[in-house]
Structure 1
Amino acid sequence: MSRPVRIGVQLQPQHAPEYGRIRDAVLRAEDVGVDIVFNWDHFFPLTGDPDGAHFECWTMLGAWAEQTERVEIGALVTGGGYRNPDLLADMARTVDHISGGRLILGIGAGWFQKDYDEYGYEFGTPGSRLTLLKDNLVRLTARLRKLNPPPTREIPILIGGGGEKKTLRLVAEYADVWHTFADLDALAHKNKVLAEHCATVGTDQGRIERSVQWPGAAKAPEFVAAGVTTFTIGVSGPDYDLSEVERAVRWRDEVNPEPVRGLA
């Protein structure tokens, strides 16, 4: 399946002392020409002051759905253990409607222990969190099929992670987009593992979009050759400097035959 290259920006909702700075960054990102604006699903900063300014993910996505007109929006990624999965499906369906069908539902197993401890969730083990993620995906996808009114489209599910036995199996079963932090060598290997899982569950691996963090314009063509079509640049507050995002968008426009928006 042939897809255009897409550029996303992750506006990390940390170190912004007032929400207006994030609102402004969303506007600037859409004006720059990005395809996707992500946030993340944490409750505390991951860098700098561990108790610094921070805002919540899904209420923010509802605001972005009203604020933006063109870009897709989503979390990179939702913590699988933070919300009842039936409720999460309803939240996603609602943001999908508010945005006019521009939500990407990103989800992962979760890993940042402070989030769990401070907010009263059971941290468990990597294995138990992956088991919970599988259970959540079963319930979430079932609830999406029951909601009235239904989503405006089949909401794309993005799964973040690279575990070969469990996570990539879930990618094969449920994901439209797979986001990984693998380098080129690891990506080639994991692509083969994912292909094996897809063959086992009867999924066309070509329908799963590959997504990575932006490696810079010099290295990005090698990732494209390895099957990657979505690149995301992480930007943090308080200033949300989009200069590298602008460079990535210019590079995208050079390699794409024509501007295309949304999942192919």
Structure 2
Amino acid sequence: MTTAAASRPIRIGLQLQPQHATYAQLRDAVSRAEDLGVDIVYNWDHFYPLNGDPDGAHFECWTLLAAWAEQTTRVQLAPLVTCNSYRNPDLLADMARTVDHVSDGRLILGIGSGWFERDYDAYGYEFGTAGSRLDDLAESMPRIKARWAALNPPPTRDIPVLIGGGGERKTLRIVAQHADIWHTFATGEELAHKASVLRDHCAAVGRDPAEIEMSVGVGGRGRDGRQPEAPEVEGTPLLELGATTFTMGISGPDYPIEHVEPWLRWRDELNAAG
């Protein structure tokens, strides 16, 4: 484990995908997640389901986060991730500031450049290219932070920024410049390589890479962060590569939260051991 990772507690996140469920089922799921001890509850920022029936039930990201902020008392809340293209960045900053207050300082602003073309087409946004969307994200981040500084009242604290993605030329540079948390689905050699690229970008912009928490989407991996079915190098424990936050996603209508319980026990064992 890196020195930076060793200095942080292990955290477990759970993405409650806002699809194929009623609002009552989502409300119940977030209550169960908080009661169980999950550290961060995420949703996502899309307008249609990403799997299953493409026209199934689905709810909007930020109004849902505001409702969860009022409903909960402890768990941190975040989009994984909000799409920079869908809202004016100054408006997004104001929305995040408001949810930050509603939650009494529990919001993480998870943000990315966007990728789901159906959302763009159906809601009338310009899809552009992957490069142009990343350029827009790079331009938006200073505006978001400037708007936070101008708002009255200001956010309750410096809102942590999570940026998702692994593009080595643009995305990881934006992470180096603006993120408190980097979220990735990379593993093994790929993760080690991208972490090295991120360190290079941090050096270029004068940032200490130890300031950036590494968050990894774990899907169905075992509780120790390994992938038993993968080659040995891919089975390297994610902790040794610097990850300290581990997130899985579950979908409606049932939201089987029991799948996260082994991860929570593992987290508690490691954090108690210091």
TM-score (norm 2): 0.92
- Which residue does 1:254 correspond to in 2? 269
Tell me by how many angstroms 1:258 deviates. Answer: 6.9
- Which residue does 2:222 correspond to in 1? 216
CA displacement 1:126-166 (0-9 Å, x = unmatched): 01110111111121111111111111110000000000010
What does residue range 1-264 of structure 1 map to in structure 2 within 5 Å? 1=4, 2-16=7-21, 18-214=22-218, 215-220=221-226, 222-257=237-272
1:123 alignment partner AA: F
- SS in structure 1 at match of 2:175: helix
- Which residue does 2:229 correspond to in 1? none
- Which residue does 1:262 correspond to in 2? none
Tell me by how many angstroms 1:257 deviates. Answer: 2.1
Distance 1:247 1:32 in 2: 11
**How many residue pairs get matched?**
258
Distance 2:108 2:225 in 1: 26
Distance 1:194 1:257 in 2: 30
- SS in structure 2 at match of 1:256: helix
TM-score (norm 1): 0.95
- SS in structure 1 at match of 2:167: coil
Tell me by how many angstroms 1:254 deviates. Answer: 1.3
Could you tell me whether the CA contact under 8 Å between 2:14 and 2:40 is conserved in 1? Answer: yes
Could you tell me whether the CA contact under 8 Å between 2:225 and 2:239 is conserved in 1? Answer: no
- SS in structure 2 at match of 1:73: strand
Deviates more, 1:240-249 or 1:151-160: 240-249
| Gaps in structure 2 of 5+ consecutive residues | 227-235
CA displacement 1:12-63 (0-9 Å, x = unmatched): 00000x2000000000000110000000000000001101000000000000
Distance 1:222 1:180 in 2: 15
Tell me by how many angstroms 1:181 deviates. Answer: 1.1
Distance 1:107 1:219 in 2: 24
1:3 alignment partner AA: R
Tell me by how many angstroms 1:219 deviates. Answer: 3.0
- SS in structure 1 at match of 2:186: coil
- SS in structure 1 at match of 2:163: strand
Distance 1:119 1:162 in 2: 26
CA displacement 1:153-199 (0-9 Å, x = unmatched): 10000000000010000000000000011111111001111111101
Distance 2:147 2:9 in 1: 31
Distance 2:170 2:135 in 1: 9
Tell me by how many angstroms 1:246 deviates. Answer: 1.2
Tell me by how many angstroms 1:218 deviates. Answer: 3.8
| Gaps in structure 1 of 5+ consecutive residues | 260-264
